[in-house]
Amino acid sequence: MDGAPRSNDATTEGPFLRLGLSGIALLYLALFLVLPLVAVFVEAFAKGLGPFLAAVTEPDALSAVKLTLIVAAISVPMNLVFGVAAAWAIAKYEFWGKSFLITLIDLPFSVSPVISGLVYILLFGAQGLLGPWLYEHDIKIIFAVPGIVLATIFVTFPFIARELIPLMQEQGTSEEEAAISLGASGWQTFRRVTLPNIRWGLLYGVLLCNARAMGEFGAVSVVSGHVRGLTNTMPLHVEILYNEYNFTASFAVASLLALLALVTLILKSVLEWRYGDEIAASARH
Amino acid sequence: MNWSPARLRQPSVIPGFRLTLGFSLAYLFLIVLIPLGALLLKASELGIGGMLAIAFDARVLAALKLSFGASFVAALINGVFGLVLAWVLVRYRFPGKKIVDAIVDLPFALPTAVAGITLATLYAKNGWVGALFGPQTWVGSLFGPKGLMIAYTPLGVVLALTFVGLPFVVRTVQPVLADFDAETEEAAASLGASRLSTFTRVIFPALLPALTTGFALAFARAVGEYGSVIFIAGNIPMVSEIAPLLIVTKLEEYNYAGAAAIAVVMLAISFVLLLVINLLQRWNQSRMRA
């Protein structure tokens, strides 16, 4: 990533311009990124440690944390299996309609989170297509945990697949073909040959997928129904507290999510620095 | 290659084609395509006339204008500052550069609701930044007797959308700039071009495809954004109400067809955007190879 430092005057800017550009760039980041990040923690501890601890250990907050973890624990593995399967199919074979398939996989990224929630209401809601049938069989999806999981899966759908597809395409098929011709089974080939090649890219995708799954707000908000203690995830709990003017508690829960974001950024950067070559550079985002 | 049009795929010794493609397609249909189909079905209940009537309803039109307009302005701001940031990160050396580089991705990692409440608090009248623009300050008085209101106005919407779109331009321009051939610049300089004209006539044209791609990505993301906007927008109908919020409002009124219609209008515009982005990326890649 680092360009070689240029000492040649003709191909760099004057010292004042360099300083000015660096100043603008850093000020922009400080104002837009660092300041909000600092503000989350300042607001969370504005009234001291006691109210902070009270806010994050209160039963509704704990059940929100629990639900957030459950939702991520279901949706991330589902998208992981899909991501690996889709990347295998796309990278290891040549077939008709492949690039269209890749476009379709990216589709959830260009859909508003609110619409991602809406589609499930239209399908499973009381007035939805399958609503009456679900009601007869006493199955609740909307305003319940399954709806939240589905909406989360939808918004995090492309993360792992789009990480693995370019990586596995770059690696080609020769190693797998060699393993197969030496008598390995398909599963052995995947586990012993492919998996070691893609493990860091896989982890990178899981990391991004998990951060979004735990932090998703819009899609989940539409399908959750905001039942405290039952269908509230952490971001929704933040919203409820904020709308009740309980700012300290709201920022206390928000600071846990900000911490998750920081940990994600650190792990992501470490992966990029140490295993940059093994994570598809073209998929960096 | 014994490929023939009758065969839809080339033969391969690697097993698992049917399993992996079958599973991928089934999952794609169940999670994404069938639900999106339900959306189209619901909206089609209204017919084209009904959909247009909703799309051209004054409140919906105002929301669509705000969503697309504010997204455009935010993407433009990020286009300019994203280019400066990418330039500084690739070309200059300074202490803590790796940390600065890492933090650019914060908007991708920070949950939107957290960003929303924080920006609303910072830019409210009595917030850290908002207070600087109040009527009693020097800066604020420049904007008239009431000072400059940021939160709960369209300006707040632009601000939140600028936050969520910040990484896109930086991350698309960065690799292109890093790969840029120094010899081209040296050649321009040795032929007598000034630094400014080397930039505008040699470097900038090479960066333009990546810059446009980043712009389009930031724009597309901003159009659908919900969580970070609703807290700072104030959500005043006709003034600071974004289109995704209007979908939520229609849902709360149990007007499912209305919600679906707005969603379809937004998706249609986003779909066109996706096509443009794909074309731009192809253009970008072919230029990078050349």
For the residues A229-247, what does the mean pLDDT come to? 94
Instruction: Please state which of the ranges A120-124, A275-279, B264-268 shows the lowest mean pLDDT.
Output: A275-279
Q: Is the pLDDT of residue A283 over 90?
A: no
Which amino acid type is present at position A255? S
Look at residues B157, B160, B166 and name the one whose alpha carbon lies nearest to residue B76.
Answer: B166
Q: State which H helix or E strand residue A40 sits in.
A: helix A35-44
Which residues of chain B lie closer than 8 angstroms to A264, CB-CB? 109
Bridge partners, B9 (sequence order): A95
pLDDT digits 0-9 by tens, B34-60? 999 999 999 988 888 888 898 889 999
Percent of chain A at pLDDT > 70 equals: 94
User: What's residue A13's pLDDT?
Assistant: 84
B251 lies in a domain? Answer: yes
Contact B141, B147 (CB under 8 A): yes
Compute the radius of gyration of chain A from its Cα atoms. 23
pLDDT digits 0-9 by tens, B60-85? 999 999 999 999 999 999 999 999 99
**What ipTM, to 2 d.p.?**
0.91
CB-based contacts of B52, cutoff 8 Å, min separation 6: none
Average predicted confidence (pLDDT) for chain B: 89
B21 lies in a domain? Answer: no
Which residues of chain A lie closer than 8 angstroms to B21, CB-CB? 85, 89, 93, 95
pLDDT digits 0-9 by tens, A118-165? 999 999 998 888 999 999 999 999 999 999 999 999 999 999 999 999
User: What's residue A241's pLDDT?
Assistant: 96
Residue A15 touches chain B, beta carbons under 8 Å: no
| Total residue count of chain B as it appears in this document | 290
pLDDT digits 0-9 by tens, B163-189? 999 999 999 999 999 998 888 888 888
Q: How confident is the model at residue A184 (pLDDT cuts 50, 70, 90)?
A: very high
Q: Is the pLDDT of residue A4 over 70?
A: no
User: What's residue A3's pLDDT?
Assistant: 46
B122 lies in a domain? Answer: yes
pTM for this one?
0.91
Chain A residue closest in CA terms to B9:
A95
The boundaries of the domain holding residue B225 are: 48-289
B33 lies in a domain? Answer: no
CB-based contacts of B223, cutoff 8 Å, min separation 6: A112, B67, B68, B71, B243, B266, B269, B270, B273
Residue B6 touches chain A, beta carbons under 8 Å: no
Which amino acid type is present at position B98? K
Q: What gap in Å lies between CA B282 and CA B290, rounded to an integer?
A: 12
Q: What is the DSSP string of A216-272?
A: --HHHHHHH---TTTS--HHHHHHHHHHTT-HHHHHHHHHHHHHHHHHHHHHHHHHH
Q: Would you give the DSSP letter of residue A95?
A: B
Q: How far is B178 from chain A (nearest CA, A)?
A: 6
Bridge partners, A95 (sequence order): B9
B4 lies in a domain? Answer: no
Q: Is the pLDDT of residue A262 over 80?
A: yes
Look at residues B86, B174, B88 and name the one whose alpha carbon lies nearest to residue A13.
Answer: B88
Q: Is the pLDDT of residue A275 over 50?
A: yes
Chain B residue closest in CA terms to A42:
B118
Q: How confident is the model at residue A280 (pLDDT cuts 50, 70, 90)?
A: low
- Among A86, A215, A265, select the one facing B103 at the smallest CB separation: A265
Q: Is the pLDDT of residue A282 over 60?
A: no
Q: How confident is the model at residue B130 (pLDDT cuts 50, 70, 90)?
A: confident
User: What's residue B3's pLDDT?
Assistant: 47
Q: How confident is the model at residue A8 (pLDDT cuts 50, 70, 90)?
A: low
B128: CATH: 1.10.3720.10
Whose tokens are 């503000």? That residue is: A39
Which residues of chain A lie closer than 8 angstroms to B151, CB-CB? none
Which residues of chain B lie closer than 8 angstroms to A33, CB-CB? 103-104, 106-107, 163, 166
Q: Is the pLDDT of residue A221 over 50?
A: yes
User: What's residue A10's pLDDT?
Assistant: 67
B245 lies in a domain? Answer: yes
The residue ranking higher by pLDDT, B268 or A218, is A218
A95:B15 CB<8 A: no
B88:A265 CB<8 A: no
Contact A202, A84 (CB under 8 A): yes
For the residues A240-264, what does the mean pLDDT come to? 96
Residue B102 touches chain A, beta carbons under 8 Å: yes
B166:A33 CB<8 A: yes
Average predicted confidence (pLDDT) for chain A: 91
Q: Is the pLDDT of residue B289 over 60?
A: yes
Percent of chain A at pLDDT > 90 equals: 83
Chain A residue closest in CA terms to B26:
A82
- B window 214-243, beta carbon within 8 A of A: 220, 223-227, 231
Which amino acid type is present at position A209? C
User: What's residue A284's pLDDT?
Assistant: 45
Whose tokens are 């370019």? That residue is: A166
Domain count, chain B: 1
Q: What gap in Å lies between CA A55 and CA A60, rounded to an integer?
A: 9
A8:B186 CB<8 A: yes
Q: What gap in Å lies between CA A100 and CA B25, rounded to an integer?
A: 12
Strands (E), B2-65: none
Q: Which two tokens stand for residue A271?
A: 């992966």
pLDDT digits 0-9 by tens, A171-180? 999 999 999 9
Q: What gap in Å lies between CA B57 and CA B61, rounded to an integer?
A: 6
Q: How confident is the model at residue B196 (pLDDT cuts 50, 70, 90)?
A: confident
Phi, psi of B151 (to 5 degrees): -65, 150
B127 lies in a domain? Answer: yes
Helix (H, G, I), strand (E, B) or coil at B91: helix
Q: How far is B5 from chain A (nearest CA, A)?
A: 9
Q: How confident is the model at residue B8 (pLDDT cuts 50, 70, 90)?
A: confident
